[in-house]
Chain A
Amino acid sequence: MAVLPVLVYPDPRLKQVSRPVESFDDSLREFLGDLEETLRAGPAAVGIAAPQVGRFERIVLVDVSCKPKIPNHGRLVLINPEFLTLEGSVVGREGCLSVPDYTGNVARAERIVVRARDEVGAEREYTMTGFEARAVQHEVDHLEGLLFLDRLVSRRDGLFRRKVYK
Protein backbone atom coordinates (compact mmCIF):
# COMPACT_ATOMS: atom_id res chain seq x y z
CA MET A 1 0.00 0.00 0.00
CA ALA A 2 1.12 3.51 -0.66
CA VAL A 3 0.05 7.09 -0.05
CA LEU A 4 -0.56 8.55 -3.50
CA PRO A 5 0.18 12.15 -4.46
CA VAL A 6 -3.00 14.27 -4.55
CA LEU A 7 -3.63 16.54 -7.54
CA VAL A 8 -4.12 20.13 -6.48
CA TYR A 9 -6.21 22.83 -8.16
CA PRO A 10 -5.57 24.53 -10.61
CA ASP A 11 -4.24 21.28 -12.10
CA PRO A 12 -6.41 20.93 -15.26
CA ARG A 13 -6.61 17.14 -14.83
CA LEU A 14 -9.12 17.70 -12.01
CA LYS A 15 -11.55 18.96 -14.67
CA GLN A 16 -11.48 15.64 -16.52
CA VAL A 17 -14.53 13.33 -16.63
CA SER A 18 -13.70 9.83 -15.35
CA ARG A 19 -14.60 6.58 -17.11
CA PRO A 20 -16.57 3.69 -15.58
CA VAL A 21 -14.73 0.78 -13.97
CA GLU A 22 -15.11 -2.39 -16.06
CA SER A 23 -13.07 -5.04 -14.30
CA PHE A 24 -13.27 -5.71 -10.59
CA ASP A 25 -9.91 -7.42 -10.27
CA ASP A 26 -6.93 -7.51 -7.92
CA SER A 27 -5.39 -4.40 -9.44
CA LEU A 28 -8.60 -2.48 -8.60
CA ARG A 29 -8.50 -3.77 -5.00
CA GLU A 30 -4.81 -2.87 -4.72
CA PHE A 31 -5.65 0.64 -5.91
CA LEU A 32 -8.51 0.87 -3.37
CA GLY A 33 -5.98 0.07 -0.64
CA ASP A 34 -3.73 2.88 -1.81
CA LEU A 35 -6.65 5.28 -2.14
CA GLU A 36 -7.79 4.50 1.39
CA GLU A 37 -4.28 4.96 2.76
CA THR A 38 -4.11 8.32 0.98
CA LEU A 39 -7.47 9.32 2.50
CA ARG A 40 -6.36 8.36 6.03
CA ALA A 41 -2.93 9.97 5.68
CA GLY A 42 -4.15 13.48 5.03
CA PRO A 43 -6.00 15.99 7.18
CA ALA A 44 -9.34 14.83 8.59
CA ALA A 45 -10.92 14.12 5.21
CA VAL A 46 -14.15 12.11 4.99
CA GLY A 47 -13.84 11.11 1.35
CA ILE A 48 -11.64 10.87 -1.69
CA ALA A 49 -12.22 10.21 -5.39
CA ALA A 50 -9.89 8.34 -7.73
CA PRO A 51 -9.30 11.32 -10.07
CA GLN A 52 -7.87 13.25 -7.10
CA VAL A 53 -4.89 10.90 -7.29
CA GLY A 54 -4.76 10.93 -11.10
CA ARG A 55 -6.71 7.73 -11.80
CA PHE A 56 -9.63 8.77 -13.96
CA GLU A 57 -12.05 6.00 -13.07
CA ARG A 58 -15.42 6.27 -11.35
CA ILE A 59 -14.34 5.27 -7.84
CA VAL A 60 -14.95 7.08 -4.57
CA LEU A 61 -14.36 6.30 -0.92
CA VAL A 62 -16.45 7.91 1.80
CA ASP A 63 -16.28 7.42 5.54
CA VAL A 64 -17.92 9.96 7.83
CA SER A 65 -17.89 7.65 10.84
CA CYS A 66 -15.16 9.77 12.45
CA LYS A 67 -17.69 12.60 12.92
CA PRO A 68 -19.62 12.33 16.18
CA LYS A 69 -23.42 12.03 16.18
CA ILE A 70 -23.83 11.72 12.40
CA PRO A 71 -25.87 8.92 10.81
CA ASN A 72 -23.56 6.95 8.54
CA HIS A 73 -22.87 3.70 6.71
CA GLY A 74 -19.25 3.47 7.85
CA ARG A 75 -16.56 2.94 5.24
CA LEU A 76 -18.07 2.98 1.76
CA VAL A 77 -16.55 2.03 -1.55
CA LEU A 78 -18.71 3.43 -4.33
CA ILE A 79 -17.77 2.33 -7.84
CA ASN A 80 -19.67 3.63 -10.89
CA PRO A 81 -22.08 5.46 -8.54
CA GLU A 82 -25.32 6.93 -9.79
CA PHE A 83 -27.95 8.95 -7.97
CA LEU A 84 -31.45 7.52 -8.00
CA THR A 85 -32.82 10.30 -5.81
CA LEU A 86 -31.63 13.80 -4.93
CA GLU A 87 -34.08 15.60 -2.64
CA GLY A 88 -34.10 18.90 -0.80
CA SER A 89 -31.33 21.45 -0.66
CA VAL A 90 -29.12 22.53 2.21
CA VAL A 91 -26.12 24.83 2.28
CA GLY A 92 -22.99 23.67 4.11
CA ARG A 93 -19.28 24.44 4.25
CA GLU A 94 -16.90 22.36 2.17
CA GLY A 95 -13.18 22.10 1.65
CA CYS A 96 -11.20 19.64 -0.44
CA LEU A 97 -7.87 17.81 -0.34
CA SER A 98 -7.37 19.12 -3.89
CA VAL A 99 -8.18 22.75 -2.97
CA PRO A 100 -5.86 23.74 -0.10
CA ASP A 101 -6.49 26.75 2.14
CA TYR A 102 -10.00 27.50 0.96
CA THR A 103 -13.47 26.55 2.12
CA GLY A 104 -16.80 27.71 0.78
CA ASN A 105 -20.54 27.28 1.05
CA VAL A 106 -22.17 24.80 -1.29
CA ALA A 107 -25.83 23.77 -1.69
CA ARG A 108 -26.35 20.00 -1.81
CA ALA A 109 -29.32 17.67 -1.78
CA GLU A 110 -30.38 16.85 1.78
CA ARG A 111 -31.40 13.24 1.06
CA ILE A 112 -30.03 10.95 -1.62
CA VAL A 113 -30.35 7.41 -2.83
CA VAL A 114 -27.19 6.21 -4.54
CA ARG A 115 -26.59 2.97 -6.41
CA ALA A 116 -23.03 1.75 -6.87
CA ARG A 117 -20.84 -1.32 -7.14
CA ASP A 118 -18.62 -2.38 -4.27
CA GLU A 119 -15.00 -3.63 -4.54
CA VAL A 120 -16.08 -7.05 -5.82
CA GLY A 121 -18.59 -5.63 -8.31
CA ALA A 122 -21.77 -6.33 -6.32
CA GLU A 123 -24.56 -3.80 -6.75
CA ARG A 124 -25.54 -1.88 -3.65
CA GLU A 125 -27.97 0.88 -2.83
CA TYR A 126 -27.75 3.37 0.01
CA THR A 127 -30.14 5.99 1.33
CA MET A 128 -28.32 8.85 3.03
CA THR A 129 -29.06 12.21 4.57
CA GLY A 130 -27.16 15.28 5.70
CA PHE A 131 -23.40 15.20 6.07
CA GLU A 132 -22.88 11.75 4.57
CA ALA A 133 -25.10 12.63 1.59
CA ARG A 134 -23.05 15.82 1.16
CA ALA A 135 -19.79 13.86 1.24
CA VAL A 136 -20.98 11.46 -1.47
CA GLN A 137 -22.19 14.32 -3.69
CA HIS A 138 -18.84 16.12 -3.24
CA GLU A 139 -16.89 13.00 -4.23
CA VAL A 140 -19.13 12.05 -7.16
CA ASP A 141 -18.64 15.59 -8.51
CA HIS A 142 -14.92 14.78 -8.87
CA LEU A 143 -15.88 11.99 -11.31
CA GLU A 144 -17.56 14.62 -13.49
CA GLY A 145 -14.56 16.94 -13.31
CA LEU A 146 -16.34 19.27 -10.90
CA LEU A 147 -14.91 20.84 -7.75
CA PHE A 148 -16.86 22.53 -4.96
CA LEU A 149 -15.44 25.75 -6.44
CA ASP A 150 -17.83 25.17 -9.37
CA ARG A 151 -20.80 25.23 -6.99
CA LEU A 152 -19.98 27.99 -4.51
CA VAL A 153 -22.81 30.09 -3.17
CA SER A 154 -22.24 33.50 -1.65
CA ARG A 155 -21.54 33.92 2.04
CA ARG A 156 -24.17 36.64 1.89
CA ASP A 157 -26.89 34.24 0.82
CA GLY A 158 -28.49 34.35 4.24
CA LEU A 159 -28.85 38.08 3.94
CA PHE A 160 -30.59 38.32 0.59
CA ARG A 161 -33.70 40.37 0.98
CA ARG A 162 -36.94 39.68 -0.71
CA LYS A 163 -37.99 42.05 -3.39
CA VAL A 164 -40.64 44.52 -2.30
CA TYR A 165 -43.93 43.59 -3.93
CA LYS A 166 -46.28 46.46 -4.48
Chain B
Amino acid sequence: MTAEKPENKKWFMLTLVGKDRPGIVARISEALFQGGCYLGEASMARLGGNFSIMLMVRSAGEANRVEQMVGPVCRSLELRHHIDRIEGELHHHVDPDVRISVHGADRAGIVAEVTGALAQMGFNIIHLESDVGGSEEDPFYVMHIEGVAGREIEDLQRTLQSLAREKEIDIQVSAIDTLLG
Protein backbone atom coordinates (compact mmCIF):
# COMPACT_ATOMS: atom_id res chain seq x y z
CA MET B 1 0.00 0.00 0.00
CA THR B 2 1.14 3.53 -0.61
CA ALA B 3 -0.11 6.79 0.83
CA GLU B 4 -1.41 7.84 -2.57
CA LYS B 5 -5.16 7.60 -2.99
CA PRO B 6 -6.49 5.18 -5.64
CA GLU B 7 -8.37 8.01 -7.37
CA ASN B 8 -5.07 9.79 -8.01
CA LYS B 9 -3.75 6.76 -9.82
CA LYS B 10 -4.10 5.75 -13.43
CA TRP B 11 -4.80 2.40 -15.03
CA PHE B 12 -2.59 0.94 -17.72
CA MET B 13 -2.86 -2.26 -19.77
CA LEU B 14 0.49 -3.99 -19.82
CA THR B 15 0.88 -6.56 -22.61
CA LEU B 16 3.81 -8.96 -22.66
CA VAL B 17 4.71 -11.50 -25.33
CA GLY B 18 7.74 -13.73 -25.66
CA LYS B 19 9.31 -17.10 -25.23
CA ASP B 20 7.70 -19.00 -22.37
CA ARG B 21 9.77 -19.95 -19.37
CA PRO B 22 9.05 -20.47 -15.66
CA GLY B 23 8.96 -17.39 -13.42
CA ILE B 24 7.90 -14.64 -15.81
CA VAL B 25 4.75 -13.64 -13.89
CA ALA B 26 6.66 -13.69 -10.60
CA ARG B 27 9.43 -11.42 -11.94
CA ILE B 28 7.06 -8.93 -13.57
CA SER B 29 4.62 -8.74 -10.67
CA GLU B 30 7.50 -8.30 -8.18
CA ALA B 31 8.89 -5.39 -10.22
CA LEU B 32 5.45 -3.76 -10.35
CA PHE B 33 4.85 -4.34 -6.63
CA GLN B 34 8.23 -2.86 -5.74
CA GLY B 35 7.32 0.12 -7.91
CA GLY B 36 4.16 0.75 -5.87
CA CYS B 37 1.70 -0.56 -8.46
CA TYR B 38 -1.59 -2.31 -7.81
CA LEU B 39 -2.77 -5.06 -10.15
CA GLY B 40 -6.31 -5.55 -11.44
CA GLU B 41 -7.65 -8.23 -13.75
CA ALA B 42 -5.18 -10.28 -15.79
CA SER B 43 -5.25 -13.02 -18.37
CA MET B 44 -2.24 -15.14 -19.19
CA ALA B 45 -2.14 -17.79 -21.86
CA ARG B 46 0.49 -19.94 -23.49
CA LEU B 47 -0.34 -19.64 -27.18
CA GLY B 48 1.59 -21.80 -29.60
CA GLY B 49 4.38 -22.09 -27.06
CA ASN B 50 4.57 -18.32 -26.55
CA PHE B 51 4.02 -16.64 -23.24
CA SER B 52 1.39 -13.90 -23.36
CA ILE B 53 -0.29 -11.84 -20.71
CA MET B 54 -2.49 -8.78 -20.49
CA LEU B 55 -2.41 -7.21 -17.08
CA MET B 56 -4.25 -4.22 -15.61
CA VAL B 57 -1.76 -2.11 -13.67
CA ARG B 58 -2.61 0.93 -11.55
CA SER B 59 0.16 3.43 -10.95
CA ALA B 60 0.51 6.93 -9.59
CA GLY B 61 2.86 7.78 -12.43
CA GLU B 62 2.61 7.99 -16.19
CA ALA B 63 3.33 5.18 -18.65
CA ASN B 64 7.04 5.96 -18.60
CA ARG B 65 7.13 5.16 -14.87
CA VAL B 66 5.61 1.72 -15.49
CA GLU B 67 8.08 1.36 -18.35
CA GLN B 68 10.98 2.01 -15.97
CA MET B 69 9.73 -0.78 -13.70
CA VAL B 70 9.13 -3.48 -16.29
CA GLY B 71 11.58 -2.51 -19.06
CA PRO B 72 14.72 -4.02 -17.48
CA VAL B 73 12.88 -7.24 -16.50
CA CYS B 74 11.47 -7.60 -20.01
CA ARG B 75 14.90 -7.14 -21.57
CA SER B 76 16.43 -9.77 -19.29
CA LEU B 77 13.59 -12.23 -20.08
CA GLU B 78 13.55 -11.36 -23.82
CA LEU B 79 9.91 -10.27 -23.67
CA ARG B 80 8.31 -7.66 -25.90
CA HIS B 81 6.03 -5.35 -24.00
CA HIS B 82 3.49 -2.65 -24.60
CA ILE B 83 1.83 -0.21 -22.21
CA ASP B 84 -1.51 1.51 -22.91
CA ARG B 85 -3.27 4.05 -20.75
CA ILE B 86 -6.81 2.72 -20.16
CA GLU B 87 -9.94 3.52 -18.21
CA GLY B 88 -10.01 0.74 -15.64
CA GLU B 89 -13.35 -0.53 -14.45
CA LEU B 90 -13.46 -3.07 -11.65
CA HIS B 91 -16.47 -4.49 -9.77
CA HIS B 92 -18.74 -4.32 -12.82
CA HIS B 93 -18.53 -7.81 -14.24
CA VAL B 94 -20.97 -8.73 -16.95
CA ASP B 95 -22.32 -12.27 -16.58
CA PRO B 96 -22.54 -14.31 -19.77
CA ASP B 97 -25.80 -16.16 -20.37
CA VAL B 98 -24.84 -18.37 -23.30
CA ARG B 99 -21.94 -20.72 -23.98
CA ILE B 100 -21.07 -21.75 -27.53
CA SER B 101 -18.70 -24.62 -28.28
CA VAL B 102 -17.41 -25.12 -31.78
CA HIS B 103 -15.24 -27.86 -33.18
CA GLY B 104 -14.37 -29.16 -36.57
CA ALA B 105 -11.61 -30.10 -38.98
CA ASP B 106 -9.23 -27.15 -38.84
CA ARG B 107 -9.33 -24.67 -41.71
CA ALA B 108 -9.17 -20.92 -42.21
CA GLY B 109 -12.43 -19.02 -41.67
CA ILE B 110 -14.14 -20.83 -38.79
CA VAL B 111 -13.74 -17.92 -36.34
CA ALA B 112 -14.88 -15.37 -38.91
CA GLU B 113 -17.94 -17.41 -39.85
CA VAL B 114 -19.09 -18.11 -36.30
CA THR B 115 -18.34 -14.72 -34.79
CA GLY B 116 -19.75 -12.99 -37.89
CA ALA B 117 -23.07 -14.77 -37.37
CA LEU B 118 -23.01 -13.90 -33.67
CA ALA B 119 -22.24 -10.23 -34.34
CA GLN B 120 -25.17 -10.01 -36.75
CA MET B 121 -27.43 -11.24 -33.97
CA GLY B 122 -26.09 -8.66 -31.53
CA PHE B 123 -24.27 -11.26 -29.42
CA ASN B 124 -21.60 -9.75 -27.17
CA ILE B 125 -18.59 -12.04 -26.68
CA ILE B 126 -17.15 -11.84 -23.17
CA HIS B 127 -14.73 -14.79 -23.28
CA LEU B 128 -13.24 -16.56 -26.25
CA GLU B 129 -10.70 -19.33 -26.16
CA SER B 130 -9.58 -21.48 -29.01
CA ASP B 131 -7.12 -24.22 -29.57
CA VAL B 132 -5.81 -26.45 -32.31
CA GLY B 133 -5.61 -30.15 -31.48
CA GLY B 134 -5.01 -33.36 -33.36
CA SER B 135 -1.93 -33.90 -35.51
CA GLU B 136 -0.02 -31.91 -38.16
CA GLU B 137 -1.75 -33.99 -40.85
CA ASP B 138 -5.24 -33.88 -39.33
CA PRO B 139 -5.59 -30.80 -37.16
CA PHE B 140 -8.91 -29.91 -35.59
CA TYR B 141 -10.09 -26.61 -34.20
CA VAL B 142 -11.92 -26.09 -30.90
CA MET B 143 -13.40 -22.77 -29.79
CA HIS B 144 -15.36 -21.89 -26.67
CA ILE B 145 -17.25 -18.63 -26.49
CA GLU B 146 -19.22 -17.15 -23.61
CA GLY B 147 -21.29 -14.05 -24.00
CA VAL B 148 -24.49 -12.14 -23.60
CA ALA B 149 -27.10 -13.18 -26.15
CA GLY B 150 -29.58 -10.38 -25.60
CA ARG B 151 -32.25 -12.55 -27.29
CA GLU B 152 -33.90 -15.96 -27.06
CA ILE B 153 -31.39 -18.78 -27.08
CA GLU B 154 -33.58 -20.67 -29.59
CA ASP B 155 -32.88 -17.94 -32.20
CA LEU B 156 -29.15 -18.42 -31.72
CA GLN B 157 -29.50 -22.20 -31.88
CA ARG B 158 -31.44 -22.05 -35.15
CA THR B 159 -28.99 -19.70 -36.84
CA LEU B 160 -25.89 -21.50 -35.62
CA GLN B 161 -27.24 -24.95 -36.47
CA SER B 162 -27.85 -23.91 -40.06
CA LEU B 163 -24.35 -22.37 -40.15
CA ALA B 164 -22.94 -25.62 -38.75
CA ARG B 165 -24.62 -27.68 -41.50
CA GLU B 166 -23.52 -25.30 -44.23
CA LYS B 167 -19.89 -25.07 -43.05
CA GLU B 168 -19.54 -28.68 -41.82
CA ILE B 169 -18.56 -27.80 -38.28
CA ASP B 170 -20.12 -28.80 -34.96
CA ILE B 171 -21.67 -26.06 -32.85
CA GLN B 172 -23.30 -26.52 -29.46
CA VAL B 173 -25.24 -23.68 -27.88
CA SER B 174 -26.17 -23.92 -24.21
CA ALA B 175 -27.65 -21.55 -21.67
CA ILE B 176 -25.53 -20.50 -18.72
CA ASP B 177 -28.06 -20.49 -15.92
CA THR B 178 -26.11 -18.86 -13.10
CA LEU B 179 -27.17 -20.07 -9.68
CA LEU B 180 -27.23 -17.32 -7.07
CA GLY B 181 -27.22 -18.70 -3.55
Chain A positions within 8 Å of B, measured between CB atoms, are 43-49, 62, 67, 92-97, 100-103, 131, 134-135, 138-139, 155-156, 158-159, 161
Chain B positions within 8 Å of A, measured between CB atoms, are 91-93, 95, 101, 127, 129, 131, 133, 142, 144, 146, 176-181
Q: How far is the CB of B28 from chain A (nearest CB, A)?
A: 21
- Complex: chain A residue closest to B177, CB-CB: A131
Grouping DSSP codes into helix (H, G, I), strand (E, B) and loop, the B interface class, with mixed when no group exceeds half, is strand
A46 to B146, CA, bound (A): 23
- Complex: chain A residue closest to B142, CB-CB: A159
Judge whether A95 and B177 touch: CB under 8 Å: no
Judge whether A94 and B131 touch: CB under 8 Å: no
Judge whether A138 and B181 touch: CB under 8 Å: yes
Contacts of A47 in B (CB 8 A): 181
Contacts of B180 in A (CB 8 A): 43-46, 94-97
A43 to B181, CA, bound (A): 10
- Complex: chain B residue closest to A68, CB-CB: B177
Q: Would you give 16 A-B contacts (Cβ < 8 Å), ordered by A?
A: A46-B179, A47-B181, A49-B181, A92-B177, A94-B179, A95-B95, A95-B180, A101-B93, A103-B93, A103-B95, A131-B177, A134-B179, A138-B179, A138-B181, A155-B146, A156-B129
Judge whether B178 and A96 touch: CB under 8 Å: no
Judge whether A95 and B179 touch: CB under 8 Å: yes
A122 to B31, CA, bound (A): 60
Judge whether B93 and A131 touch: CB under 8 Å: no
Judge whether A67 and B177 touch: CB under 8 Å: yes
Apart from A95-B179, A155-B129, A158-B144, 5 more pairs, CB < 8 Å: A46-B181, A93-B178, A95-B95, A155-B146, A156-B129
